[in-house]
Amino acid sequence: MKPPEHWDDVPKMGGCIPVGTHPGSTAQIVCARVPLDEKYCVAQRHVWTPFDLLETCFEQKQSVHMVIDLTNTFKYYDGQREFHERNVEYVKMKVEGFADVPSESIVRRFIKVLTEWDKCLIAENHKSDYAPVAVVHCTHGLNRTGYLVVRYLIEAKGLSVKEALAEFAAARPPGLIKHMYVTKLYEMFSQTHELELPVLPAWAQKKYDRSQAQLARADKFARTEDDSAPDAGKKKRQRERKRFPDHWTEVAPMGNVVAGTNFLPLRTPLDVADKEPHIWRPADFIAAQAAAGHDVRLAIDLSDADEHYEHYEQLPDGLAREKLVLEGRDGCPSPRDVDTFLAMVATFEETSVGHIAVHSALGLNRTGFLIVCYLVRVKRVPLAQALEAFAVARPPGIFRPACIDALHALFAPESPKVYPELPAWATSRSRRKHDKEAEGPRLAEHPPSWDDLPTMGAPIVAETAAGFVHLLPMKTLLDDRFVGGHSWGPADFAAFHAAAPVDAVVCVDDRGQFYEPTALPVPYFNLRVRSRHVPREDEVALFVAFVAETMAAKAEGPVRIVVHCTVGSRSAYLILHYLTRQAGMQLDDALAKYQAAYPPGPIVKAMLNRLQFVSKRSSPDVAAADVASLDLRTDGVDNDGKE
């Protein structure tokens, strides 16, 4: 896939902007362009993955506490995997980059997130050599990012529009460059007498210096500005004409309170709905819940759009609203979504009394999923009873098989699954999807070349100063998500371990990509190296350190460690690097050992080039000119191999 247009025309990351509003606060934000995962094809010098972002901050002695993603899509990277699993809070605020400024609901949420983070740092008395930072990005890290940062600086720190724009531009050149955004800021705060429109960089000429009306008419702008599909502008206009989410008129506006809880499920209110009897504005919801004898004090909005009812600040005093953006309309809430939801509820229950309104677009599947998780995890209600309780309160209840499957996997993997009938109002497309999901997920194909490799290689003995290490090359295990016809999964590995025990497994793929490591009977170490990339020196150092720790933990005898990636090249690089640098072997001898132990000894030429460079660099007998003459391609495979 190609990166967004002009993505490589802007710097990867800007400087720090202090955002703390309390004495002694060290909170700072760093603005960046969106990181892209490995499916995007970019030149090596432009590679900018989520891991690269974290690594760059670390090199600058910055500790990333939080990443705020303002793009209007989830396609660029998996925030849960890339950040949350590395103990970095990931906050998704979907902001459309087309035409108008971010909504006031987004502005309020952005300010709230940064303010609460600043308070936490003060409460924790954060002291470290590494400055705490929150990374904020949209597609280019300029306009949506700049608008929200400037609004924060104005409203939280008291800067004028001109001062806030200048501070952002100094940290993230060329600054906020969309003329319409800048003009609206000056108009909003009645400071038009100071209005100065920015000078546009060459790549942005004829793009950002247009009026809102011109932008709304320009399909090309939608293609180049935002991270939406090529016809995003057309789709936006269709959404505006349609007004209602799919099937919104087919479900009841509000359910009943779920038994054993304070939850009131409902469909999303809409700011505008001019066709009787479908009017369901925030005010209508407030009146309906009061007439039913409820006392809603918190509304949790799970919908994936902010335009449903932007003017939530007009809700009555004493009724708070929280926005929890999930992974999209068709996906089940992630484990982190569940944890965030339960934390919101726990905070409310500790400090307030009243009902909690919960809604997604329809208030059925995603809403029910989270309420059922609450019933099971907090109230200790059996899953079947929790599903029934929600269905009674909000008919027809949870009907998507994917949600039913996910709940069973979490709470009752051995119990039989019951898939409810699809509601009569579902379209034929929904029915096909429902039937397909009920049949179960489609199994994935084996990785390329996987079937041609042996399952496990013979031990490669390395003698080091600390003792002997037996390194065993292996192809990845595949679990039951992959098509049959193979016999190399976690159970097969357990049988191998029972016959010839190993001390640990080092996996170079993404954790859980091909199998769940919790199924292994031995310690598991995940060293994620991007596919088709040569492991960096810091990644090699982590591997060496893990081997040393494993050796130190074993009282006697050689250590046996399995090393694998998908089909061998990245793990081969780590093994050969260890043999040459830690065991003092010549590269040719180490390569011969590896190929004999794991025929045919897969490793791509780019990695061998790099190993030759490392080997010669460490040799005192090789002149610098000879080292420089080596082919140092480290950006993946060449024409002689694939991984």
Among residues 165, 118, 126, the alpha carbon closest in space to that of 146 is found at 165
C-alpha distances in Å from residue 285, one per residue of 266, 280, 296? 9, 6, 10
35 against 200, higher pLDDT: 35
Dump pLDDT digits (tens) for 222-260.
Answer: 333 444 444 444 444 444 444 567 788 888 999 999 999
Question: What mean pLDDT value characterizes the chain?
Answer: 82
**Block residue for tokens 């309020």:** 108
Q: Which domains does the chain have, with CATH numbers?
A: 7-241 (3.90.190.10), 248-439 (3.90.190.10), 450-628 (3.90.190.10)
DSSP state of 566: S
Structure-model confidence comparison of residues 292 and 334, the more confident one: 292
- Arithmetic mean of pLDDT, 404-424: 84
Residues 6+ positions from 125 with CB-CB distance below 8 Å: none
Query: Looking at residue 430, what is its pLDDT?
Result: 55
Highest mean pLDDT among 78-82, 95-99, 404-408: 404-408
Instruction: Determine contact, residues 598/568, Cβ cutoff 8 Å.
Output: yes
pLDDT digits (tens, 9 = 90+) for 60-74: 889 999 999 999 888
What is the predicted pLDDT for the residue at 436? 57
- pLDDT of amino acid 477: 92
Residue 598 has pLDDT above 90, yes or no: yes
Token pair recorded at residue 571: 């793990």
- DSSP assignments along 495-551, one per residue: HHHHHS--SEEEE-S-TTSSS-GGG-SS-EEE----TTSPPPHHHHHHHHHHHHHHH
- Inform me whether the pLDDT recorded for 287 exceeds 60: yes
What is the mean predicted confidence (pLDDT) over 467-485?
A: 88
According to the per-residue pLDDT averaged within each range, which of 113-122, 217-226, 321-330 is highest? 113-122
CA-CA distance, 383 to 398, in Å (whole number)? 12
Helix (H, G, I), strand (E, B) or coil at 138: coil
C-alpha distances (whole Å) from 246 to each of 267, 275, 360, 422 are 11, 15, 12, 15
**What would the mean pLDDT of 592-611 be, rounded to a whole number?**
87
Q: Which of 405-409, 421-425, 581-585 has the lowest mean pLDDT?
A: 421-425
CA distance 597 to 614: 23
**For position 242, what pLDDT does the model report?**
46
pLDDT at 612 (0 to 100): 85
Dig out the tokens for 366 from the structure: 């995603």
Residue 211: is its pLDDT beyond 80?
A: no
Query: What pLDDT does residue 428 have?
Result: 53
The pLDDT, as a whole number, for residue 36 is: 94
pLDDT at 627: 37
pLDDT band at 447 (very low <50, low <70, confident <90, very high): confident
Residue 219 has pLDDT above 80, yes or no: no
Tell me the torsion sign for CA atoms 231, 232, 233, 237: positive
In tens, the pLDDT along 502-513 reads 999 999 987 777
Q: What is the pLDDT of residue 146?
A: 96
Mean pLDDT in residue range 488-507: 94
Which residues contact residue 578 at a Cβ distance below 8 angstroms, ignoring those fewer than 6 apart?
462, 469, 471, 543, 544, 547
Cα–Cα distance for residue pair 360/110, rounded to 1 Å: 21
Sign for the CA dihedral angle at 253, 350, 86, 504 comes to negative
Dump pLDDT digits (tens) for 355-383.
999 998 889 999 999 999 999 999 999 99
pLDDT at 431: 58
Strand pairing report for 460-464 and 524-526: unpaired
**How far, in Å, are 253, 333, 361, 434, 513 from residue 249 at the CA level?**
8, 24, 11, 20, 40
